[in-house]
Structure 1
Amino acid sequence: MPRVQQTVLQRSPHNATLVFEVELFKEEDLTEEEDGGIIRRIGTHGEGYAKPNEGAMVEVALEGYYKDQLFDQQELRFEVGEGENLDLPYGLERAIQHLEKGEYSTVYLKPSYAFGSAGKEKTQILPNAQLKYELHLKSLEKAKDSWEKNSEQKLEQNTIVKEQGSVYFKEGKYKQALLQCKKIVSWLEYESSFSSEEAQKSQALRLASPLNPIMCQLKLQAFSAAIENCKKALELDSNNEKGLFRWGEAHLAVNDFELARADFQKVLHLCPNNKAARTQLAVCQQRIRRQLAQKK
C-alpha cells in the first residue's frame, strides 16, 4: 500500500515515553512500462475496492500545476476513454483509472504522458513539460466488464475500439493507439460462445489485434515487443502478408538483416508485386554486403 504507518518512540525531559504515529507516503509508478512516467502519491484513501474501468462514468475534481503555477482547475463528469476530448493529458486519464471513489491523490506526469513535445498552447504549456495534478475522484459508475457482456456486445465494442485506435495512430498518438489495440485480445481471447458468423469476425479482430500495435511499437522504438506481436499474428496466419512485412521491418530495426531479408523474401513469394517489400529487400542486401565488408 502507498501509505505506511510508523511508530516513533521519544523520551520527554521527565523520562516519560511519548508515542507518535507518523504516516509515510510512498510514491507509486502507475505505468505498465515502469518508466516513472506516471507517479501517484495518495493523500487520502478512497472507499471500497472499485476503480474506474474503460467506459466508466466518473466525476473528478482536478487542479493542474506547471512549474508550481495553477493552469487548470475544474470539476468534470465524463466517460473514461474520452478524456482527451476534454484536453486531459493521456497519462492523467490512466491515473484516474487507479483511483478509488473518494480518493485524494497527487499525480506527477513526465512529458511523454502529459502534452509531450507539442505542449498545449491553449493553456500555455511549453513542449516537454512535466506536470502535477491534484485529483479527487468524487464518484464513479463502472461500465460492464468483459465477462458481463454477451458475444454481440463484445464484437461491437471491439470494432469501436479498433476504429478509435486507428484514429489515434493517424494523429500520431501511438501510446493511446497501443492501449486500444491491447483491449481486443483481452476481450476476445477466451470467448467460446460465438456463432460461426461471429467467430469469423472474432478471428479477423484477433488477427488485427497483434498486427495493429506493431506500427505503434516501431514508432515508439519498442522493437522486441513488435517482434513478439509479429510472432503472435503469424501463429494465427503464417502466410499473412502484412504480418511478414512488419516482422521484416522489426528485424531490420534491430539490425537482424538476415532474418529481415528472409521475411521480405516470403512477402514477395506471396505477392511478387509488393513494391515496398522489394525496396526493403534491397536495403537488407545492401546492409548485409556492408556488414561483410566491415568484417573483412
Structure 2
Amino acid sequence: MIVHYRAWTESTQHKFEDTWHEQRPFEMVLGKEKKEMAGLAVGVSSMKAGERALLHVGWELGYGKEGSFSFPNVPPMADIIYEVELIGFDEVREGKARGDMTAEERIGAADRRKMDGNSLFKDEKLEEAMQQYEMAIAYLGDDFMFQLFGKYRDMALAVKNPCHLNMAACLIKLKRHEEAIAQCTIVLAEDENNAKALFRRGKARAELGQTDAAREDFLKARKHAPEDKAITRELRLLDEHDKAIYKKQKEIYKGIFGPPPRPKPKPANLLTRMWQWLTLICQWLLSLIYRLFKRERRKAD
C-alpha cells in the first residue's frame, strides 16, 4: 500500500517526518514493515483508499524504549501521532512485488497508473486522478531513480515528470497552490527549462499574489515556448493587474498629497453680528445728519 503521513511525538510536538512536504509517497508492505512502524501499519490496515486519519501509536509499537538518536530523531518511550492518508493498494494489480520487478516492468507499471490518472483528470475526478499519479510516482521513488542511468533514467523521467506536472494541474484547480508549486519545482530540479513546469508554477504563484516570481516564470517559459498563447495571455493578465494596482495607488496618493480643500467660512458669532449692526446704524445716522445739515445750510443761503 502507498501512504502519505506526518509524524510527531505526542509529548514534545516535535515533527520528525513529513512525506507530504517531501513530495515522497511511502510504500508499506503489511507484514514486512519495519519494527518501529508496526503501529502505523496496524492503523492503516483498516483504512480505505483515499481515507485520511489521525492515529495515536504508543511507544511499544513505535520506536520503543530506546527511541532513535539517528534519523529520525525520536526520544525514548515516545508516543507518536500520525496524520496519515492511504493513497491506494497495489499488491494485486501488477502480479508481483516491486522489489521483484525489472526496471522496465516498474516503469511500465508507473506508466499505466499515469494513463489511468489522465482518464480520471479528463472526467474532472481530480482527487482520484492524483491518487493514480502518486501511485505511479511511488514506483519511481528516489532509491529506484538513483540506480538508473542512460536510457532507463530517461524512460523513467518521461513518466515521472508528467505525473508531477499533472498533479500540479489538479492542485491548481483545487486551489492548493503551494502544493502545486512544490510539484513543479521537483520537475524543474531535473529539467530547469521545462516550459510546462515554469508555466504552471507561474500560474500558481500568480494566484498567490506572487506577481514578480510569476512573471519571472512566465518569461522563462516563453523563452522556451515562444508560440504558446497561454503564456502570452498570462503575461498580459499580469500587466493588466499591475496597471490596475498602479491606478489605484495613484488615486490614493492623490488624495493624500493633493491640494488642501478651501476652508469653509465660519458663521459669525453673536458679538460679531452686533458689531456689524452697530456699524450700519452709525453709518445711517451720520448719513442722516449730513443730509439735514446740507438742507439747513441751503435755507440759510
TM-score by length of 1: 0.51
Question: Residues of 1 paired with 2:110 and 2:185: CA distance?
Answer: 22
Which residue in 2 is equivalent to 1:168? 120
Show the counterpart of 1:155.
107
RMSD: 3.0
**Does structure 1 retain, via aligned residues, the 8 Å contact 2:50–2:131?**
no
Name segments (4+ residues, structure 1) moved above 6 Å.
none
Match in the other structure for 1:240: 194
Do the aligned residues in 2 keep the contact of 1:178 with 1:216 (CA within 8 Å)? yes
Deviation of 1:193 after TM superposition, in Å, equals 4.9
Shift of 1:284: 0.6
Q: What CA distance in whole angstroms lies between the structure 2 residues aligned with 1:240 and 1:229?
A: 13
Match of 1:28 in 2: none
Q: Which residue of 2 is the match for residue 12 of structure 1?
A: none
Shift of 1:230: 1.1
What is residue 277 of structure 1 aligned with on the other side? 231
Give distance in 2, aligned partners of 1:210 and 1:265. 21
- Alpha-carbon shift at residue 259 of structure 1 (Å): 1.5
Other-structure match for 1:252: 206
- 2:166 matched residue in structure 1: 212
SS in 1 for 2:181: helix
Q: Distance in 2 between matches of 1:219 and 1:291?
A: 25
Structure 1 residue 150: Cα displacement: 2.2
Q: Larger Cα Rg: Structure 1 or Structure 2?
A: 2
Task: Encode CA deviations 1:142-190: one digit per residue, 9 max, x unaligned.
Answer: 9644323221221111110010000000000000111111123221122
Q: In the TM superposition, what are the counterparts of 1:3-82 in structure 2 within 5 Å?
A: none
User: Residue 187 of structure 1 corresponds to which residue in structure 2?
Assistant: 139
The superposition leaves residues 29-87 of structure 1 with CA deviations (integer Å, 9 ceiling, x where unpaired) of xxx99xxxxxxxxxxxxxxx559xxxxxxxxxxxxxxxxxxxxxxxxxxxxxxxxxxxx
Question: Structure 2 length normalisation: TM-score?
Answer: 0.50
Q: How many residues align?
A: 170
Write the deviation string for residues 249-270 of structure 1: whole angstroms up to 9, x where unpaired: 1111112122211211112212
Distance change >3 Å, CA 282–CA 94, structure 1 → 2: closer
Q: What aligned pairs does 1:74-153 form with structure 2 within 5 A after superposition?
A: 93-95=49-51, 144-153=96-105
CA distance in 2, matches of 1:268, 1:95: 40
Gaps of 5+ in 2: 1-18, 21-29, 33-46, 53-90, 251-301
Deviations 1:85-130, CA, capped at 9 Å, x for gaps: xxxxxx954459xxxxxxxxxxxxxxxxxxxxxxxxxxxxxxxxxx
Tell me, which stretches of 5 or more residues in structure 1 are unaligned? 1-31, 34-48, 52-90, 97-139
The CA distance in 1 between the partners of 2:111 and 2:132, in whole Å, is 11
Structure 2 distance, partners of 1:95, 1:230, is: 25
Deviations 1:132-151 (A, max 9, x none): xxxxxxxx979644323221
Taking the aligned partners of 1:266 and 1:195, their CA distance within structure 2 comes to 28
Q: Which amino acid aligns with 2:215?
A: R
- Kept in 2, the 8 Å contact 1:214–1:230? The answer is yes
Partner of 1:9: none
C-alpha contact 1:210 1:229 (8 A) present in aligned 2: yes
> Which whole-Å CA distance do the structure 2 matches of 1:254 and 1:211 have between them?
18
Which structure shows the higher helix fraction?
2
**1:288 is matched with which residue?**
242
SS of the residue corresponding to residue 172 of structure 1 reads: coil
| Structure showing the higher strand proportion among its residues | 1
Alignment partner of 1:238: what SS? Answer: coil
In structure 1, C-alpha distance between the alignment counterparts of 2:116 and 2:194, rounded to whole Å:
23
Percent identity over the alignment is 24
The 3-state SS of whatever aligns with 2:164 is: helix
Q: Distance in 1 between matches of 2:218 and 2:168?
A: 16
CA contact (8 A) 2:110 2:137 kept: no
Equivalent residues of 1:165, 1:176 under 8 A apart: yes
